[in-house]
A and B are shown apart, each in its own frame.
Chain A
Amino acid sequence: EVQLVESGGGLVQPGESLRLSCSASGFTVANSNVNWVRQAPGKGLEWVAILHAGSNGYTDYGESVKGRFTVSRDIPKNTLYLQLNRLRTDDTGVYYCARRVPFSGMDVWGQGITVTVSS
């Protein structure tokens, strides 16, 4: 079964850091484009980042997280990571990882993990 499972969320203070994990099964992250998408409480979806398939692991980021968030992967563990630095209160929300297949949308999503940034 193709599946994504996020972990690592929690409550942090503004300015602190957090690392989210996205464990994949049923497919290989090295050969897939995997995204992070977030949703603030009661709000819509916001695309955060993508790590492209292939050996170079090319990345793209949304403007609001560029320079603060970093996406990476561990191929042997078949896991994607999102490092969240210099967190702000408006980074609070549910974070999803999602696979995208070529020329299509994001077809497999994790269950989501909650990040709360508050003092």
Chain B
Amino acid sequence: DIQLTQSPSTLSASVGDTVSIACRASHSIGNWLAWYQQKPGKAPKLLMYKASSLEAEVPLRFSGSGSGTEFSLTVSSLQAEDFATYYCQQYNSYPWTFGQGTKVEIK
């Protein structure tokens, strides 16, 4: 199975900050990586797919990059509604796997 390791596990930031979350895959997954945002008690929401493609209606302050085994999600100018937990997920091969999550909290 392909393991995904996210870092950091927790990130403290303020409104207006730019933050980045890393996701490392144990084997190359090309660009078959998605990013999700999840808020407490809610279903995950797709933000990015194919590593760097922005899902419809997701704000442009979200961006993704990377390929192979190293990926990142960047949120520019954090807004209050961006404080949440973020997950990467690979869909290169079954079983699909998720990273362990990164919680972005208010500093």
Contacts and interface: CB of A to CB of B under 8 A. Distances in A.
Query: Chain A binding site: helix, strand, loop or mixed by DSSP?
Result: strand
A107 B46 contact: yes
Interface residues of A, number: 23
Interface string B76-107: 00000000000101010011111111000000
Contact of A104 (B34, B43, B95): B34
A63 B49 contact: no
Contacts of B48: 105
Among the interface residues B35, B44, B50, which one has the most CB atoms of the partner chain A within 10 A? Answer: B44
Interface of A: 35, 37, 44-47, 50, 60-63, 96, 98, 100, 103-107, 109-112
9 contacts: A45-B38, A47-B89, A61-B95, A63-B95, A103-B50, A104-B53, A106-B89, A107-B46, A109-B45
